[in-house]
Structures are given as C-alpha cells and as structure tokens.
Chains A and B, each alone.
Chain A
Amino acid sequence: MRKFILKRLGQGIIVFMLICFFSYIIMFLIPGDPVYALYGANISPEQYQMYYKQLHLDQPLLLRFFNWFINFLRGDFGWSSRYRCSVNELIATRLPITMYIGILSLILTAFFGILFGVIASVKRGKWQDSVITVLANIGSTMPLFWIGVLGVYVFAIKLGWLPASGYTSPFIDLGLNLKQILLPVIAMAFCQVANITRLTRSNMLEVINDDFVRTARAKGITEHEVIFGHVIPNAISPVINMIGMLFRVVVAGSVAIEKIFNIPGMGQLMIVSITSKDVNPLQACIVVISTVVLIVNLLVDIIYALIDPRIRLQ
C-alpha cells in the first residue's frame, strides 16, 4: 500500500511540474512582447529595460522557469495589471467561491447520480428504468451554459422566483446567497448527474449477474440485503473514481456558469485575464486549479485502493 501511494505521489509531482512549465511558457508564446503585455505599451525605454531585467528575460529559459517556480512554490503569484492588486489576493477571494459552488453541485451530483443509477438497475426494464435512461440521455447532451440560460428564462424571468444573477457572501446574507447559488448549483449538477447515473447503472448490472450475488441470493438473504450489502459496495468504486474526474468538469463548467450568473469566481477571473491578456492571474489559475484537480484525483485513487484491494494488487 505504501509503495502504491509513493508511486502515485511521484507521478503527481512530475505532472505538477509539467503543468507549471506549461503555464510558464504560455507567457512567452503569446504574440507580442511580454514586457509590454505585463506593464502596458506606453512605458519609456528606461522603464522597459528595468522591467526586462526584473523579469529576468536576459537569462536562459530553464533558469527563469526555475526561479519563477521557486517563487510559485513560496506562494508568490505576482501582480495583476488588470486588477491592480496581487494575484494571491485575487485567488484568495475567488477560489473559495468557485469551490463552494463546485463542491455543492458535486454532492448533489453524486447523491442523485448514484440514487438514479441504483433505481434504474434494480428496476431494469421497468418504467422507472426507461424514464431514468431517457432523462440521463437528455441530460448529458444539454450544454451547461444553455441549462443556465434556460433556468434564468424560466425561474428568473417568467416565474420571478429567483434572482437572475449576482453573488452575495454567505456570511453577509445567507438566505440571499442560497437563492443566488441555487440555479448555478442545480445547472451544474444537472449535466453531471446523467454521467454518474449511466455509469452506476452499467456497473450495477455487471455486478448483479455475478456468481457471488447468486450465491448471496441462494443463501436466502433478502433482496434488500443483496443490493445494499453485496451489489452496491462492489459496483460503487468506479463511480467514486468518476466523481474525482468530474471535479475537472465542474471547474471547467464554472467558466460558463460564472459568466451567466455574474459570480466573481475563478472562471470569471480566467475569462477577464484572457481577454485583457493579463498573464500572471491566468498562470496562477491554471496551476492552482490543476493542482486542486490533481490532489483530488490522488486522494480518490488512494481511497479507491483502500476500499478495493483489486486495484492496489494490480
């Protein structure tokens, strides 16, 4: 087990370095001069020289990357020219908002996905199965942003039940906060539930015909105990793995969702820093988000191996 964890950790660190390198070289691949891009075009030649030195552009690329990487590890993400404040500050205010909405929708997704998947597989071939399968097919084809738009049209414009956009901190006004995040959270969960449902259903069906399930039934225990005691524990581990993967999708979804509902999170920060060619926040976004995804996946892998001995013995 320890060998397994060390191996996964080592892989994770290599991948982390690769991601850092990728986000670093973006700055030099963008058409145009990095000094002008960072500090604006109307600076004097003296200032240009100063910033040129300050960015260590006179040093070789790998050395610069190394220095930048050390700063990054210390938690210094640099300065945002668009927002005129340190990137650390931006990330510190925005990451919790995106995580808050993302994690809530992930919980909803996992709960309803597994629930529907189990129902569909237990009631295989009955009307419950058909209804869930059709809904899951529809759900996985709807673009997230369009569900958001549809939600705004129905619940904000036509019915007027919920606010169309905005974000208030839950510490200031919890009620308003919940009203505001309800649509984004549901919209995000809506697309993912379908994937979890489909996966749970097919895994359940695979296990339900296994020999050990037949043995369990032959022993004479109730169908209820067969499903909850034998089938679900064996069918659920790939689903846990999938939920780790979904975290990536949720983060990507925040780009569209935060635009529709005007939520000041990481997604909005990314769009603004791309449209204003503000490189430092963008680099920080890529590294921070990817690292969170990496850590979540690493944890999921370890949990997965702990629950399911078949994985760690491979």
Chain B
Amino acid sequence: MNKKSRLFSIRTFFRRLFHRRIVILGAVIVLIFIIGAIFATVIAPYNPYKIDVLHSLRGASREHLFGTDENGRDVFSRVLFGARTSLLIGLIAVLFAAIAGILLGLISGYFGGWVDIIISRIMDAILAIPNVLLALSLGLVMGNSIPSLMFILGISTVPNYARIMRGQVMGIRNSDYVLAESVMGAGTFRILLSHLLPNCFAPMIVLITQNIGNTILSEATLSFVGLGVNPPTASWGGMVNDGYIYLISNPVYSLAPGVCIMLLVFGFNVLGDGLRDVLDPKLRGTLK
C-alpha cells in the first residue's frame, strides 16, 4: 500500500467512525478525561492530599468547585486525580486481559482437542465465579496495591477474549488460504501469528474498547466496598463511598465522582460501538 492510499484509508476510517455525532461526543469526553488525568497536577487548584480540617465538608463554592471532604481536601482536585487512577487501572488491566485472552483463544481454537478442553473449562470456571467475587478473593491473596488490582480486574475478563478469539480461529482455521499456507510449508507459529491473529483483530479491538468501560466500573465497585485502591489515593469509587455518609452536608462530594464514572464509561462505550460499526463488516450499516 503506498503512502497516499494509506492516508486515504485512515481518513475514511475516521469519517466512518465519526459518522454518528454521538461517537464524536464519546471521543471528546474520553479525550477530556485523558487530558485531565495527564495534566492533573497543573489543572488541580489544590493539592489533593492536603488536609485542612478547619474547612471540612464545605458545600460547593467559588474557592472549592465541588466543596471539600471530611478532611478539608478539595473534592474537585481529588476527582481529577481519581481520573488518573481509573484510567491507569482500566487501560492496563484491559490490555493485560486482552493479550492473555487472545493468546489462550488462539491456542485453544487452533489446536483443539485436549488443549481446547482444558483451556475452555478453566475459562468456564472463571466465568462462573461472579467477577466482583473473584476479584475480592484474589484481592485477599494478592493485596490491593495498584499493580495487583490491574491483574485481578484483568483476570476476570480474560474468558471474554478467549471465547471470541477461539470461535473466530475455529471459523477460519479450515479455510482455503490457511490450508494453502500450510501446504506451502508454513509452520504453526507463522500461521497463528501472521494469518489467524490479524484476521481476528477487528472484533478484538472492539471488545477491548467496550471492556475498558466495564473494567473502570469494576474498579470503582471494588473501591466503593473498600477493597480496591487504598486511601489516601484518590479513586472515584472510594470517594462515592467516603462521601456517602456526608450526603446531607455536601452531596456533591459523593455524587460528582459518580457522574465522572458515568461520563467516562459512556465515552468508552460509545466509542466502542462506533469502532464496531466501522471495523466489523458484518454489522456495518445495520445500526444507525
């Protein structure tokens, strides 16, 4: 493909992606949160960890946009730093899960037989344990530092990738071009990586984008029940929980982080739907 036509295809890709206005909205929301998270130190009007007991639980005002929490910390600044936690954990957990799931799916779909049975039953077992429950019990074993949270949240979504990947691979494993390749003497590894993997790429990208939202929700749920990110690190779920008992004195404290979770998850979901419409030819044009 020469440079010009590649440029053209990228342009068509974005034109198709942003064909629906709501996808633009989703992309803008995600972008705003990413910028907010990256430049949190610059944007935040206060230090999110600075305790000021004299000004605790103030309602929203000009000095404190979202008021202050029970320790007098500025809620707006903490929400900004919470975006960092959510995005970091969400993105890395999803990437980890995707890589693990895609590899497992490739292996079990391509080799079949016993390998497939073993991998599939383990995936079934992971799926049968409700993900929050799995995360809670793994958290007990591994502790709730941020890296172990990423691993824990990732693990429970591995079967989603593995299953779809397995189905995709099984669908094209016996197709003519794979057969031709193996007749021409290509090794298993080459077939797996240069033929089967790229062919399953589009549904995986879609699944990854859609799973980021769910992972962010799970992280928030864990932090909400007090078994996620450790305080004083700012996390949205934890803030909703901390603010819950102060709903009467400063409702914004508990409600604002919830709105942020909603917006960010909404952004990723809409973006995921947009990507699906563009990348998954089977569904293209059916959803307007």
Contact = CB atoms under 8 A, between A and B. Distances in A.
A88 interface: no
Contacts of B130: 248-249, 251-252, 289-290, 293
B201 interface: no
B237 A143 contact: yes
Interface stretch (A107-115, A176-184, A226-234, A270-278): A270-278
A101 interface: no
B82 to A, nearest CB: 13
Contacts, number: 141
Chain B contact surface mostly: helix
A248 B265 CA distance: 21
Contacts of A236: none
Interface in A243-258: 248-249, 251-253, 255-256
B252 to A, nearest CB: 11
Contacts of A274: 136-137, 139-140, 227
B121 A14 contact: yes
B225 A15 contact: no
Interface string A117-156: 0000000010000000000011011111110011011000
Interface in B115-151: 121-122, 124-125, 127-133, 136-137, 139-141, 143
A286 interface: yes
Contacts of A143: 217, 220-221, 224, 237, 240, 258, 261-262, 265
A11 interface: yes
B254 to A, nearest CB: 6
Interface residues of A, number: 51
Contacts of A259: 224-225
A168 interface: no
A103 B121 CA distance: 27
A-B pairs, top 10 by smallest CB distance, nearest first, are A146-B258, A252-B132, A18-B125, A252-B130, A141-B266, A141-B265, A29-B141, A15-B124, A145-B224, A251-B130
26 contacts: A11-B124, A15-B124, A18-B121, A18-B124, A19-B129, A26-B137, A31-B143, A125-B288, A141-B269, A143-B220, A145-B220, A145-B221, A145-B224, A145-B241, A146-B255, A146-B262, A149-B244, A153-B251, A252-B131, A255-B136, A256-B224, A259-B224, A270-B133, A271-B136, A271-B226, A297-B128
Interface of B: 121-122, 124-125, 127-133, 136-137, 139-141, 143, 213, 217, 220-221, 224-227, 237, 240-241, 244, 247-248, 251, 254-255, 258, 261-263, 265-266, 269-270, 286-288
Interface of A: 11, 14-15, 18-19, 22-23, 26, 29-31, 125, 137-138, 140-146, 149-150, 152-153, 157, 202, 205-206, 248-249, 251-253, 255-256, 259-260, 270-271, 274-275, 277, 282, 285-286, 289-290, 293-294, 297
